[in-house]
Structure 1
Amino acid sequence: MSRINVASRRDFLSRGLGIVGVGSALPSFLVRSALAAPEDSSSDRIVVSLLLTGGPDGLSLVPPYGHDEYYKQRKTVGIPAKDVIKLNDEVGLHPKLTGFKELLDQGAFGVVLGTGSPNFNLSHFVGRNIWEAAKTGVSTGAVGATGWLGRYVDAACKDKDPTLNVAVGPARMPLIITGKEHPGVGFSSPDSFRFVGERSERGHALYEKLNKMTGASAEDLQFITQTAVNANAASTKLGEQASKYQTPVTYPDTQFGNSVRTIAGLINGGLKGRAYYAAQGIAVFGGYDTHADQIRRLDLLLNELSETISAFYKDLGRCGNSERVLTFTFSEFGRRVPENYSGGTDHGLAQPMFLFGSGVKPGVHGKQPSLTDLDDRNNLKMQVDFRGVYASILEKWLGTPSEPILEKKYPPVDCIA
């Protein structure tokens, strides 16, 4: 079965129904209906997922400076012990992550060491899908594919508000916040909105019918029409709110910084969103995939990451929203222990996960993986299944059972207050 092309479907609806597109005119009662506040009255807690594109080197982000083996393996790219921001006698933070230390001092930063998947894959795309779906065998763009936060929104929210799960910045809708009933919306900037629902099984079937000009019922047409109405209404809602946002807080003037600033604007502006997404490294060639020139590239990326997260929580705090928002980072994989011959590191397994917000148990969680007891590819051995962190976020932060969402029982990691 062929995959729906979002642009062609959008174009089809725009010409065939005359209602999709930011500039299109809609009956005002339809817009009011689509923009009405959700009826759901459950928790207003928010989760923000941040992808560190490319697979960051966890041994540079959280250097195990207390281990001599680290400096034996990292003669060129190791972070000098004198420069490490100490977290304990064993590990610390990269010197560019000063904003993380400030949040730690406020009780709003934690790190889980050695996270990974027993079914890890060193392909960027497959690895990312595993982390976003929280299971194997799922492909981005596949009909009916969902991510774990998208499944949470489906389970927690009865209304069909398309702005409950929002992605800012990516070229396509990320799997992690895509649900079956709530496919989500995404835009790269306030004036570049797109409604993304190509994974909807019903939408796919109807598009195929309409594309063949046969078999479309009145109910089918009503569904497509309402989808278009929701798309246009959400476009208006998000675009206006994001474009008018003003803040005294300074963010890095980068794609990532501006994406996170936009998320802050949507939250501070009262959007009822539950799950947000942004990605760092998209605009930087290779992102965290530092096979070469690692020291310089990580300095730039981690400075941007630190300043962005610090600004985000200051911005949320001035509007009284910082206690509602939990943020975490993830990536497709980590890097190997030995450095390579190009001043970099290669694809590996275990990686640290960063968590931010007042709902986090501050400090270091988990055990630093051994630097000598490696797998047969010189990878750090996984200490924590990453879905245990997700389970903790679901159960302790969002107050919902994790097993139906993750489709298996994972012991929660004790990292959420």
Structure 2
Amino acid sequence: MKRRSLLSLLLASSAGAALAGGRWSTGGAGSPRSRSVLVLLELRGGNDGLNTLAPIADPLYRQARPTLALDGGEALPLVAGLALHPALAPLLPLWQSQRLAFALGVGWPRPNRSHFKAADQWATASPSGEGSGWLAAALDQRQQPGPLLALGPAGCPAMEGGKALALQLSSAELRGRPGAGFDPAEAGANAVLRQMLALEQAGMQQLQRLRRELAPLPPGLAIPRGALGQQVALALRLIGSGACPPVLQLAQGGYDTHVGQAVRHGRVLSELATALAALTTGLERLPNRPAVTLLAVSEFGRRLRENGSRGTDHGSASVALLLGEQLPNRLIGRYPSLSDLDERGDLIPSLSPPDLYRQVLQRVGV
């Protein structure tokens, strides 16, 4: 358990009311199963939504990106005017079976272009970037006990600041021996330290329980190499255990494509697609699996115009990706206009992060 999480648990108050209510705006919340798991996947660095789901028929797209615009012969048409990056081809069967959806134009008006500040805004569902994490607040609002479990290498601020334990478990930690835990009595008369040690002890006990209950991977399942593949494997073992926490987090880096974007972006999107395809195949092979919904977001999109290094700089609106069973609509929101830009030359968002979060939380019942 991270020290930052402990301090947040002791000092932060709930901000769940801001995320209460709301509906899946594209046609009803559906009927979630009695057990559900929400997986948050953070695409760190600022994913270029314009080349993830490209406005392939818009001439302004090609004018603004003379070397980076997707080749119309290689891009994968989805609906009129929009095409998927060819590296995401492993996800096409999910699109065709209505298990893949895209939220369009997601972002903050005039977002902060600092990675750290923008990540805080997304984590807290607040333009100020301050307060409890949105996932922590949601569990508090709905009085769900948690824990919230981060599988990414750097934890998850969206899970911190609430009453539920925010824990971190990595594949590397599974290979080590469980820790001995902490004795709150060692704090003596220091009440704050005693409470911190008690929370650390509770977190250690939860992690040890989760390690004991991990299920084996489905036989014959091919897990792609790399950090994201390892996280997917661990997520499947947790989900298959029957005792999975209600919220998991995964993370993938490499999306800050200022230079040589064509190769770099294609590589990380390929890693993303193969990992998500493996996750879906693994879920299909799990007996009595819970309903699983995955939301993939990034801290901001990229600029419309490519730069002089054949890359793109920090921008605003992007796309978010959702995976689930029988999603009510495969496109949520509207694609930003390439001709109506803000005063900084950025795309104008049409769907705010809090609105997206509300719809996802309503769907999964978290």
Describe the shift of the 1:112–1:346 C-alpha distance in structure 2 as closer, same or farther (beyond 3 A): same
Q: What is the distance in 2 between the residues matched to 1:252 and 1:292? A: 26
User: Aligned residue for 1:250?
Assistant: 222
Is residue 201 of structure 2 the alignment partner of residue 229 of structure 1?
yes
Larger of the two Rg values belongs to structure: 1
Is residue 302 of structure 2 the alignment partner of residue 335 of structure 1?
yes
Give 1:72 deviation, angstroms: 0.8
In structure 2, give the amino acid aligned to 1:395: Q
Q: What is the distance in 1 between the residues matched to 2:199 and 2:50? A: 46
Is residue 175 of structure 2 the alignment partner of residue 191 of structure 1?
yes
- Show CA shifts across 1:254-288 (max 9, x none): 0011112111110111123111101011xxxxx10
User: Aligned residue for 1:131?
Assistant: 122
Describe the shift of the 1:98–1:329 C-alpha distance in structure 2 as closer, same or farther (beyond 3 A): same
1:238 to 210, 221, 226: 210
Higher RCO structure (Cα 8 Å, ≥6 apart): 2
Q: What is the distance in 1 between the residues matched to 2:83 and 2:288? A: 29
User: Aligned residue for 1:71?
Assistant: 62
- Show CA shifts across 1:343-364 (max 9, x none): 1000000000111111522422
Q: What is the distance in 2 between the residues matched to 1:147 and 1:194? A: 28
- Worse overlay, 304-313 or 130-139: 130-139
Give 1:236 deviation, angstroms: 1.7
2:3 to 3, 6, 18: 6
Q: How does 1:184-333 map to 2 (within 5 A)?
A: 184-189=166-171, 190-191=174-175, 210=187, 215-216=190-191, 221=194, 223-224=195-196, 226-242=198-214, 245=217, 247-281=219-253, 287-320=254-287, 324-333=291-300
Query: TM (normalized to structure 2)?
Result: 0.83
CA RMSD of aligned residues (A): 2.8
Q: How does 1:16-415 map to 2 (within 5 A)?
A: 43-118=34-109, 120-138=111-129, 145-159=131-145, 164-171=147-154, 173-189=155-171, 190-191=174-175, 210=187, 215-216=190-191, 221=194, 223-224=195-196, 226-242=198-214, 245=217, 247-281=219-253, 287-320=254-287, 324-398=291-365
Give 1:323 deviation, angstroms: 6.2
In structure 2, give the amino acid aligned to 1:178: E
In structure 2, give the amino acid aligned to 1:46: V
Describe the shift of the 1:192–1:122 C-alpha distance in structure 2 as closer, same or farther (beyond 3 A): farther
Partner of 1:111, secondary structure, is strand
Give 1:105 deviation, angstroms: 1.3
- Show CA shifts across 1:77-132 (max 9, x none): 11011111111121111001112211011210110111111362111011011111
In structure 1, give the amino acid aligned to 2:175: D
In structure 2, give the amino acid aligned to 1:237: R
- Worse overlay, 225-234 or 63-72: 225-234
In structure 2, give the amino acid aligned to 1:104: W
Where does the alignment leave 5 or more consecutive residues of structure 2 unmatched?
Answer: 7-32
User: Aligned residue for 1:404?
Assistant: none
Q: What is the distance in 2 between the residues matched to 1:363 and 1:375? A: 27
Partner of 1:96, secondary structure, is helix
Partner of 1:384, secondary structure, is coil
Partner of 2:321, secondary structure, is strand
**Aligned 8 A contact 1:252 1:308 in 2:** yes
Q: What is the distance in 2 between the residues matched to 1:254 and 1:265? A: 17
Q: What is the distance in 1 between the residues matched to 2:276 and 2:177? A: 24
Q: What is the distance in 1 between the residues matched to 2:289 and 2:98? A: 12
Q: What is the distance in 1 between the residues matched to 2:363 and 2:191? A: 45
Partner of 2:60, secondary structure, is helix
In structure 2, give the amino acid aligned to 1:356: L
- Show CA shifts across 1:163-219 (max 9, x none): x31111222x31112242113110222236999xxxxxxxxxx9xx95xx75439xx
- Show CA shifts across 1:110-167 (max 9, x none): 101111113621110110111111013345xxxxx421111222233454x6xx3111
Q: What is the distance in 2 between the residues matched to 1:245 and 1:100? A: 21
Partner of 2:86, secondary structure, is coil
Where does the alignment leave 5 or more consecutive residues of structure 1 unmatched?
Answer: 10-41, 140-144, 196-205, 282-286, 401-417
- Show CA shifts across 1:288-342 (max 9, x none): 0000010111111011100111110110111146660000111110000000010
Q: What is the distance in 1 between the residues matched to 2:143 and 2:217? A: 26
Describe the shift of the 1:116–1:240 C-alpha distance in structure 2 as closer, same or farther (beyond 3 A): same
Q: What is the distance in 1 between the residues matched to 2:303 and 2:284? A: 38
Q: What is the distance in 1 between the residues matched to 2:326 and 2:137? A: 21
**Aligned 8 A contact 1:109 1:362 in 2:** no
- Worse overlay, 177-186 or 45-54: 177-186
Query: TM (normalized to structure 1)?
Result: 0.73
Q: What is the distance in 1 between the residues matched to 2:167 and 2:271? A: 25
